Amino acid sequence: MSANDVVSVGLHIVDVLGRPVTEIPPGQGMRRIDEIAITVAGTAAATSVDLARLGVRVESVGALGDDSLGGFLRQKMLGEGVGCAWLTEHPGVPTSATMLPIRPDGSRPALHVVGANAMLEADHVPWSDLAETTVFHLGGTCLLPRLDGDPAARMLERAKRRGLITTLDLIPTGDTDADLAALLPVLPFVDYVFPSHEDALSLAGTGDSAEAARFLLDAGAGCVVITKGGDGAELTARGGGGLRRPAYDVDVVDTTGCGDAFAAGFITGLVEGASEETALELGLACGSLVATGLGSDAGLTDRAALTRFMATTPRRHQERTSR
């Protein structure tokens, strides 16, 4: 039996990124760019790496192909200190991967292979290894076809019965009906859900973030934490309490993995028994740091460096507001 503060279940992806990309050349043309990287990514895997760098004991649960990309992902995560005993390999299925041409402003389109992530099931969760676990994190709802909907709901309900704090990150596909079918059954068993601003608005069918948060709370979530990029983040709790905090003022290189890093920072606060305000601040700092370099593993190195960053980096907006 292994000892873990967090079990992180869901998407495991290898990203191949290049920057800056202003256009895709026609035909067989070529353009020179400044940088190419290959990284661990995905709303479970990247979050696990960030947690390990922050000193949190984490076990990652996911599905890989029996291929070179899967070998890279496993070895990289092991090197970061992530528990990988529950990463399963599936012959004949490729490891999930994404090609990301990063624009000069840090935004990026994506070319994605679903691959082995489609094989992940609730039975892969190591329930016997959760004796010391504090947080059960599910990352990738809407893109986990064998887990989305009722299977994930039963899994999170089981985690709740064991007294674990449950957190959820999601990646909507843009098919609102299908996305809601994947998401709504699980929300009654989720303590903290981390949608992006755009995704929250789209799922709720509204242009107002407060209404979007209320939609997710009414569906059963315990607390909604909406990430808003350069505009920071806002937390809305059941019962009406809320917090709004500004982002850190950094030069954005690439936004890949910022949401995963935010989740890792917030979860670190939960593991440490910190207040929701402190967890929110940790999440914002982690997300901001990752935006300063290329890929999901950029910027965030360890807890000491994160603390220095938080103490010395100004905010984009200095006011601290609550509602």
Q: Supply the range of the domain harboring residue 253.
A: 6-24+33-322
Look at the pTM and tell me if it is higher than 0.75: yes
CA angle 84, 76, 111 (to 5 degrees): 100
Interatomic CA distance for residues 23 and 243, integer angstroms? 40
pLDDT digits (tens, 9 = 90+) for 262-319: 999 999 999 999 999 999 999 999 999 999 998 888 899 999 999 999 999 999 864 4
Q: How far apart are CA 287 and CA 259, in angstroms?
A: 6
Residue type, 30: M
Establish if 231 belongs to a structural domain. yes
Type and span of the H or E element at 78: helix 68-79
Supply the CATH number for residue 77's domain: 3.40.1190.20
In a domain, 146, yes or no: yes
| Residues 6+ away with beta carbon under 8 Å from 240 | none
Q: How many domains does the chain have?
A: 1
In a domain, 198, yes or no: yes
Kindly state whether residue 185 falls inside one of the protein's structural domains. Answer: yes
Q: Is residue 179 part of a domain?
A: yes
| Local confidence pLDDT in tens for the 323 residues of the chain | 457 899 999 999 999 999 999 988 999 999 999 999 999 999 999 999 999 999 999 999 999 999 999 999 999 999 999 999 999 999 999 999 999 999 998 888 889 999 999 999 999 998 988 888 999 999 999 999 999 999 999 999 999 999 999 999 999 999 999 999 999 999 999 999 999 999 999 999 999 999 999 999 999 999 999 999 989 999 999 877 789 999 999 999 888 889 999 999 999 999 999 999 999 999 999 999 999 998 888 899 999 999 999 999 999 864 444 44
76 φ, ψ to 5°? Answer: -65, -45
Check whether the bond before 185 is cis (ω within 30° of 0).
no
Instruction: Please check whether residue 1 lies inside any domain of the structure.
Output: no
**Which residue in the block uniquely carries the two structure tokens 């755009």?**
198
- pLDDT tens for 219-249 read 999 999 999 998 999 999 987 778 999 999 9
Among candidate residues 62, 12, 6, the one with its CA nearest the CA of residue 268 = 6
- Residue 4 has, within 13 A of its CA and on its CB side, a CA count of 27
* Residue for token pair 């039963």: 154
Residue 243 belongs to some domain of the structure = yes
User: Can you give the C-alpha Rg of the chain in angstroms?
Assistant: 18
